[in-house]
Chains A and B, each alone.
Chain A
Amino acid sequence: MNPKMACQGLQKGETLATLKKECESLKKKLEEDRGKLNDVELHQVAEKVEVVGALSIKTRRVLKGHTNKVLCMDWCKDKRRLVSSSQDGKVIVWDGFTLNKEHGMSMPTTWVMACAYAPSGCAVACGGLDNKCSVIPLSLDSNENCAAKKKTVAMHTNYISGCTFTNSDMQLLSCSGDGTSALWDVESGQLLQSFHGHTSDILSLDLAPSETGNTFVTGGCDKKANVWDMRSGQNIQSFECHESDINCVKYYPSGDAFASASDDATCRFFDLRADREVAVFQKDSIVFGASTVDFSLSGRLLFAGYNDYTINVWDVLKGTRISMMFGHENRVSRVRLSPDGTALCSASWDNTLRIWA
């Protein structure tokens, strides 16, 4: 065989088929290694744990103001203010106690799919179909037009599906329909780090609780949940257990685990130290996709919002459903626990938000 043919042969050796085969065998090994440490399931270890008593969680506030689906919301650290964003193109800052609308800002496009409150409480970030994530400083003067001071920070090549400030107002993390997430410097708009690995739209991201270091988790249409190192840009752990799009990911209060909500009608719980899924929250009667999850303060309860308009409350340790929260008249798009754990806010396609306590 002449050298030229030999070289071509080498390249041809690395065909789609051989790569696929190698991937399959590594996936198998990974499954085996993870399986060796799967000596028991979470609900089995939790058999002797006392059951949670009846919960007395009710709707305490209904926030009306948006004229179309509410897609996202976030709490301010002061535990009373919150920001919401909607398909109507508006971003509203509310006082959750009094229902007062403190700021109302119009964005250039409809479908503002992501919003976040800055740690200082002095600004909010939002983004959506405009493919950008902007930061808006909140003025103390309610007559001032906040939207005019809007500053573009993140730029993606497809819609923004999620955003969050890191531990300060200075850095913003964004995720997008373009399959990437990125870390930005708010002041300069400079891209600090980009994260590649998802093979389809990313739908959600969540930052690890500050004590546990610099990582964040993303979930998306490729059915994968990936954990990233913010400094190196590396994908350090990956979980492919869901059977459909992952709509939401949320870290556990301890930082050692996270939950996911998916169109496959299940929510799942992944332990990061065991590097595997340790619980699946599902029921034959639940057939609609789960779009959002959050934990109660102790991590005992998992609140999950579904496309059948309900919020199911799951016992994280026992894997059973404790109760259901009814009230919304359309899909629940987002649930978020207040910073001190006293209340849960839910956002819905019925144009309202509710505060439950």
Chain B
Amino acid sequence: MARDMSDKEILKMELDQLKKEVSTPRTPVSANCTDTIAFVEGLLPNDPLIKGVPDDKNPYKGDKGGCIIT
């Protein structure tokens, strides 16, 4: 566990980790963001919290007890 390690051991662990991370493959932000946007747009029409669900289809929009705050 980290709390049992000396400062030097912790630094060594960090150093080894950093050496690995420097060689991580990565791709441009613009390309990935474009992908993210495409992903969202594809699912957006079916997102119940954005598009809404008709009252009769939504199990929570009924008078089944609890508080309904309008």
- Residues of A bordering B, CB below 8 Å: 14-16, 19-20, 22-23, 26-27, 29-30, 33-34, 37-42, 45-46, 49, 52-53, 55-63, 80, 96-99, 157, 178-180, 196-200, 234-238, 252-254, 256-257, 271, 273-276, 278, 296-301, 316-317, 327, 340-344, 355, 357
- Residues from chain A with a CB closer than 8 A to the CB of B46 are 297-298
- Residues from chain A with a CB closer than 8 A to the CB of B64 are 61, 97-99
- Taking chain A's interface residues, is the majority helix, strand, or loop, or is none over half, making it mixed? loop
Q: Which 10 A-B residue pairs are closest in the complex by CB-CB distance?
A: A298-B43, A298-B47, A60-B60, A275-B26, A357-B60, A61-B66, A26-B18, A45-B33, A19-B11, A342-B48
B14 to nearest A CB, angstroms?
Answer: 6
Contact indicator B53/A342 (Cβ below 8 Å): yes
How far apart sit A20 and B18, CA to CA, in the bound complex (Å)? Answer: 12
* Given A46-B33, A297-B49, A33-B68 contact (CB < 8 Å): no
Q: C-beta contact mask, B27-70 vs A, less than 8 Å → 1, else 0?
A: 11110111111011111101111101100001111001111111
Contact indicator B49/A45 (Cβ below 8 Å): no
Contact indicator A299/B67 (Cβ below 8 Å): no
Could you show 17 A-B contacts with beta carbons less than 8 Å apart?
A19-B11, A23-B11, A23-B14, A26-B22, A37-B28, A42-B36, A46-B37, A98-B64, A179-B2, A196-B13, A198-B2, A199-B10, A199-B14, A274-B28, A297-B47, A357-B60, A357-B61
Quick one: closest B residue to A95, CB to CB? B64
A155 to nearest B CB, angstroms?
Answer: 13
| CB contact between B68 and one of A58, A157, A299, A301 (< 8 Å): that residue | A58
* Given A20-B11, A60-B61, A198-B2, A274-B17 contact (CB < 8 Å): no
- Taking chain B's interface residues, is the majority helix, strand, or loop, or is none over half, making it mixed? helix
Contact indicator B43/A253 (Cβ below 8 Å): yes
| CB contact between A61 and one of B18, B24, B35, B67 (< 8 Å): that residue | B67
* Given A271-B32, A273-B32, A299-B40 contact (CB < 8 Å): yes
| CB contact between B66 and one of A62, A80, A200, A253 (< 8 Å): that residue | A62
How many chain-B residues does the 8 Å CB contact rule pick out?
53
Quick one: closest A residue to B39, CB to CB? A254
Quick one: closest A residue to B43, CB to CB? A298
- Residues from chain A with a CB closer than 8 A to the CB of B30 are 39-40, 45
Q: C-beta contact mask, B3-31 vs A, less than 8 Å → 1, else 0?
A: 10001101111110111111010111110
- Residues from chain A with a CB closer than 8 A to the CB of B24 are 236-237, 275
Contact indicator A59/B69 (Cβ below 8 Å): yes
Contact indicator B32/A256 (Cβ below 8 Å): yes
Contact indicator B14/A200 (Cβ below 8 Å): no
- Residues from chain A with a CB closer than 8 A to the CB of B32 are 256, 271, 273-274, 278
Quick one: closest B residue to A176, CB to CB? B1
How far apart sit A37 and B18, CA to CA, in the bound complex (Å)? Answer: 18
A281 to nearest B CB, angstroms?
Answer: 15
